[in-house]
Amino acid sequence: MPVRMRVHKYIPERLFGFVIDDSGHEAFFHLGVFDPGAVWASHTHCETCPHRGCPWSAMPPPPILGEEVDVEMDPHPTDKSSGRAPRAARVTRRVGPPVMTGIVETFDPQRGYGFIKGEDGSSYHLHASEILDGRIPRQGQGVMFFAGVRQDRPRACHVKVCP
């Protein structure tokens, strides 16, 4: 029986993450057990991007921090004395995360973080680990991202820096 949880942490380079329930219980998952859900709504491009049919928006995103998921646990539980979190056998996205456009307010390449002003007027934390293609964003540059949440604060996830 699936349990409702939220994506707590996801490490794209390592292809794994953790989900957490309201009482603080964590479970480990590998990207191989992540189901992005049914049909992904096609978002063609942001208004500032000259690249029509950009592949960024055509594919379902990886797990997004804070998104709600249904989790089926591995029937072979991990030994609690090992100190490891239990393993999820299947993690299913409930609703597609919102696609946002925004403008980079600040970004410090030395520290690896900054902020994006989203189209909704909110300020989203931008961390270098979430930027695709290794492009360093400049102040005033347009971006597309998925709105996530980390530590109860808005977080930009899977960020595409627009040309």
Length reported for the chain: 163
CB atoms within 10 A of CB 54: 16
Q: Is 3.40.630.30 the CATH classification of the domain at 3-40+60-93?
A: no
User: Taking the C-alpha atoms of 155, 66, 150 and 33 in order, what is their torsion angle to the nearest 10 degrees?
Assistant: -100
Ranges for all domains in the chain classified under CATH 2.40.50.140: 3-40+60-93, 99-161
For the 99-161 domain, the top CATH level (class) is: mainly beta
Prediction pTM value: 0.79
Question: Can you tell me the distance from the alpha carbon of 45 to that of 61, in angstroms, rounded to the nearest whole number?
Answer: 15
Cα 25 from chain centroid (whole Å): 20
Q: What is the pLDDT of residues 91-137, one digit of tens each?
A: 999 988 888 899 999 999 999 999 999 999 999 999 998 998 888 89
The pLDDT tens digits for 33-51 are: 999 876 555 444 555 555 5
- Is residue 114 within a helix (H) or strand (E), and if so which, with residue range? strand 113-118
